[in-house]
Amino acid sequence: MSGFWNAYIWLLTLGTLGGCLWLLQAMTTKRKQPGPVEDTTGHSWDGDLEEFNNPLPRWWLTLFWITGIFMIVYLVIYPGLGNFAGVMGWNQVSQYEAERAAAEERYGDVFAAFAARPVAELATDPDALRVGRNLFLNNCAGCHGSDGGGARGYPNLTDGAWLYGGSPETIVQTITYGRNGVMPALGAALGEGGIDEVIAYLRALPRLQAAAPAGTASTAQTLTAPETAGQQKFQTFCIACHGMDAHGNQALGAPNLTDNDWLHGRTDADIRSVILDGRANHMPAHEELLTPDRIHVLAAYVLSLAAEGGS
Ligand code: HEC
Ligand code: HEC
Measure the CA–CA gap between 226 and 220, rounded to whole angstroms.
Answer: 12
* pLDDT at residue 192 is higher than 80: yes
d(CA 62, CA 55): 12
Is pLDDT at 25 greater than 80 in this prediction?
A: yes
Specify the pLDDT at position 311.
44
pLDDT at 67 over 80: yes
What domains can you pick out in the chain, each with its CATH number?
1-16+57-90 (no CATH), 93-178+286-309 (1.10.760.10), 183-208+223-283 (1.10.760.10)
Interval 224-282: pLDDT, tens: 999 999 999 999 999 999 999 999 999 999 999 998 889 999 999 999 999 999 999 99
Query: Which ligand is the nearest neighbour of the Cα of 183?
Result: 2
Is residue 188 pLDDT above 90, yes or no? Answer: yes
Nearest to 4 by CA among 85, 86, 82: 82
Whether the predicted pLDDT of 36 surpasses 60: no
Contact residues of ligand 1, CB 6 A cut-off: 139-140, 142-144, 153-155, 157, 162-164, 171, 174-175, 179-181, 253, 281-284, 286, 298, 302
